[in-house]
Structure 1
Amino acid sequence: MIDAPLTGTRPAVVQERRPGRLAGLFHRSESLRGYTMLSPTMLVMAVGILAPFIILLAMSFWTRQGFEFDTTPTFANYARAMSEPIFGAFLARSFWVSGIATVATVLLCYPMAYYVAFHVHRNKMLWIVLMTLPFWTSYLLRVFAWKVILGYEGVINSALLSMGLIDAPLEFLLYSQTAVIITLAHAWAAFAILPLYVSLEKIDRSLLEAATDLGDGPAWRFLRVTLPLSMPGVIAAVFLIFIPTTGDFITPALLGGPDGAMIGNLIQLQFGAVNNWPMGAALSIVLMLWIATVALVFLLVTRKAQERLA
């Protein structure tokens, strides 16, 4: 065997090109890659949500002087919002009505989502479409429909009168908190059904079988397995309903009457007829802070409850 002649030259060393510092950090950090992919959405949210919020926050420190706004920063609007009883009364009523509507919606939608998740084995998507079909119409049309149903000469009163169950139309059905709660519970039901269904559908059925083998009946199996595992859907449904309904002003304006008006109507009045935009902005900020506080407390309470059940 003849060896190749040796030369005096050294073999060239092939250097591996290493990524730069930023590129290496990008490849190693999963969260950084996720934020990079979310950046277009975050940019849209910053322009569409953060910028108006900053403008609203800045405006809340202004005051109205006649037909003009004084841009000198002051806490006068916040002091008035905290001191005048009418604002506190409207805020408390809003939380009460929204809370009742949220609880009623979740309690009504949970059985429907449970049935589709556990007892429907074919065409589940068709069932979901059928349950959400009434919500494909305009929100205003549904509100006006409930106004016809709950009216003095509406479907309910006419049926009760024809059957002789009442002598006069029920006055508490329309232009009351009851009408607002019923309409809100129906109008936002789709936002409760979907997260509840997704949460229930993801439950591992083998866990239910294990609970049955350990001697749990249907009730205990639901309380110890199904309900705790579906709590993320319940929490999502509560947030999706409670947060927007607290500031709703369309339903209270059309169905609430004097006793059903909410804080959203007061804010709309400040921006509209009163033309006091700084006061309306301050009330909006106060409402957002209270909603964030209530949501945080609810989240902490539910988390503690889940830890005790676990």
Structure 2
Amino acid sequence: MVSPTAVYALLMLAAPLVTIIAYSFFKDGYLTVIHEFTLENYIDTWGDPVFRSIMLRSLMISGLVTLVTVLLAFPIAYYVSFHVSSSMKARWLFLITIPFWTSYLIRVFLWKVILGYNGVINSGLKALGIIEQPLTFILYNVNSIVLTLAHAYAPFAILPIFVALEKIDRSLLEAGLDLGESKFRTFCRVTLPLAMPGVVASVLIVFIPTIGDYVTPQLIGGGKIPMIANVIQARMLDLDNKPMGSAVAVSAMVLVTIISLIFLFLNRRFLRGQK
């Protein structure tokens, strides 16, 4: 019974990953790949200051997106879980998932329309007489990229936190209040630790894919603020250097894996300290 799923995972996940890793150790020839083992791709990648700079920028932007998204998602998930009646929770979750109804690319274009030189924000401010000239700093910068990505990944952050909050036994919160703890202390010592699995899931769900986002930096950043996915695309397609592009992709993947494992380790230490 597991065979169809296993075959699908092998073909769609394992095979492309193995191919990329293998290509990263091959040499690049003119319009072809030379199947000879080499470490030059990794040496050139990590020795390139442009790669290091863009990788750090990608980590910074992805970390900022994750922070903003989770901080905004937690109050929403908390409100739906603790303050919305059981009969209305399904409706709220339905509204939260509405952004999934449209293509991710369309949502990015809509943010470009909203933030553009003659977009909704500038047109509205000019109509109200607040500004005379359109604002130029709300598009094609890091802030606009963070805003767009935070909106795109908000449902991914809300739902895991909501599920974790729903699993909390409400009698534990009542016990904390009966023992003389304030609502804030009860939240910090009971609710938040018990909700951490959902928070951790949200952080990883947002952090990992936003590092590899290609569309938003290209459209919202105007191509002026490339992230690591844009570098991979340039190596793979523009320069037609698949081994180098594969080395960049594998390097980024390994780095993100290490950061994610460190985060999980620190979170586990935090939960042990709470106990």
Separation in structure 1 between the aligned mates of residue 94 and residue 150 of structure 2, nearest angstrom = 19
Structure 1 contact 177–259 (Cα < 8 Å) conserved: no
Separation in structure 2 between the aligned mates of residue 150 and residue 289 of structure 1, nearest angstrom = 35
Considering only CA atoms, is the larger Rg found in Structure 1 or Structure 2?
1
Match of 2:90 among 115, 120, 125: 125
Match of 1:147 among 112, 134, 141: 112
Task: Tell me the equivalent position of 1:204.
Answer: 169
* Counterpart residue identity of residue 18, structure 2: I
Match of 1:232 among 189, 197, 200: 197
Match of 1:245 among 178, 198, 210: 210
Match of 2:24 among 35, 60, 72: 60
1:258 deviates by 4.6
Residues 1:83 and 2:47 are matched in the alignment: yes
Task: Tell me the equivalent position of 1:96.
Answer: 60
- Structure 1 residue runs of 5 or longer lacking an equivalent are 1-36
Percent of aligned positions that are identical: 47
Task: Tell me the equivalent position of 2:250.
Answer: 285
Let me know the Cα RMSD of the aligned residues. 1.3
Separation in structure 2 between the aligned mates of residue 168 and residue 259 of structure 1, nearest angstrom = 23
SS in structure 2 at match of 1:257: coil
Separation in structure 1 between the aligned mates of residue 270 and residue 13 of structure 2, nearest angstrom = 33
**Count of matched residue pairs:** 274
Structure 1 contact 97–181 (Cα < 8 Å) conserved: yes
SS in structure 2 at match of 1:69: strand
Separation in structure 1 between the aligned mates of residue 223 and residue 103 of structure 2, nearest angstrom = 25
SS in structure 1 at match of 2:74: helix
Separation in structure 1 between the aligned mates of residue 133 and residue 49 of structure 2, nearest angstrom = 36
Task: Tell me the equivalent position of 1:109.
Answer: 73
Task: Tell me the equivalent position of 1:216.
Answer: 181
1:38 deviates by 4.7
Task: Tell me the equivalent position of 1:172.
Answer: 137
Structure 1 contact 94–262 (Cα < 8 Å) conserved: yes
* Counterpart residue identity of residue 196, structure 2: M
Structure 1 contact 180–260 (Cα < 8 Å) conserved: no
Q: Give the TM-score of the pair, scaled to structure 2.
A: 0.96
Deviates more, 1:179-188 or 1:62-71: 62-71
SS in structure 1 at match of 2:181: coil
Task: Tell me the equivalent position of 2:240.
Answer: 275
* Counterpart residue identity of residue 228, structure 2: I
Separation in structure 1 between the aligned mates of residue 2 and residue 83 of structure 2, nearest angstrom = 37
1:39 deviates by 4.9
- Structure 2 residue runs of 5 or longer lacking an equivalent are none
Deviations 1:77-96 (A, max 9, x none): 10011101000011001000
Q: Give the TM-score of the pair, scaled to structure 1.
A: 0.85
Separation in structure 1 between the aligned mates of residue 248 and residue 25 of structure 2, nearest angstrom = 11
1:164 deviates by 3.5
Higher relative contact order (CA 8 A, sep 6+): 2
